[in-house]
Amino acid sequence: MLTLHYAPDNASLVIRLALGAAGVPHATQLVDRAAGAQHGAAYRRINPAGRIPALATPDGPVFETAAILLWLAERHAGLAPAAQARGRGAWLSWLLFTANTLHADLRALFYPALYAPDGAQAAHHALTTRRIARHLALLDAHAPLAPAAPGALEFYLVCCLRWCALYPAGGTGWFDLAATPRLEALARSLDDHPAARAAARAEGLGPAPFSAPAPATPPEGSAT
């Protein structure tokens, strides 16, 4: 049995969607962010980096969103092109771009105190959002997207779009989903995916979690 260590509307949402879409049986374990449990000794035994998500597996814990997605895709069909499939290289490129570049800059946007000194936060926000808008434009132009048969890349991207629209509270005016029409179509399409509906119920994500997101109202835990 796999156990997803999660907090509502955190990066663990990407993994919940992938597990749901691939029909992988799993349990979930809340990481209590309000109590800073991600930094506690018990959670650091699962993920020494103290970040959410982590997936407990018979092979030991796996952490980092992209690593978990690839680990799952190696074991369950439908999440990624097969190792020898045409387009596998492009798919890997854009998955890793999403993780290493887009998601990394989202972290910089959401945790400004870790990235910019006091007094420089407005400039940091402006520069970071400019970079993120460029990343999204590149993804919109080039990423191999399959809205009708979504896999790891599509689920990762729609979560990133959701977070751009919601976080940080009061600092989302820069974001315009309509500026990236392929990503917008993907978000609209995945709003109604069965795995998204199940995740929305579990984490309180509302009726259009990707194309018109509202702040999470989770039945347990908190997003921040």
Ligand X SMILES: N[C@@H](CCC(=O)N[C@@H](CS)C(=O)NCC(=O)O)C(=O)O
Residues that bind ligand X (CB under 6 A): 10-11, 38, 51-53, 64-65, 99, 103, 107
What lies within 8 Å, CB to CB, of 114 at 6+ separation is 108
What gap in Å lies between CA 108 and CA 47, rounded to an integer? Answer: 20
Helix boundaries (H) for the chain: 12-22, 41-44, 65-75, 88-97, 104-110, 121-142, 152-166, 181-191, 194-203
Nearer to ligand X, 101 or 121 (CB): 101
Nearer to ligand X, 11 or 199 (CB): 11
Is 157 in contact with 186 (CB distance < 8 Å)? yes
Output the smallest distance, CB 38 to ligand X, in A.
5
Nearer to ligand X, 22 or 166 (CB): 166
Nearer to ligand X, 99 or 136 (CB): 99
Is 168 in contact with 224 (CB distance < 8 Å)? no
Output the smallest distance, CB 23 to ligand X, in A.
23
Nearer to ligand X, 65 or 129 (CB): 65
Within 13 Å, how many C-alpha atoms sit on residue 4's CB side?
26
Output the smallest distance, CB 37 to ligand X, in A.
10
Beta partners for residue 127, in sequence order: none
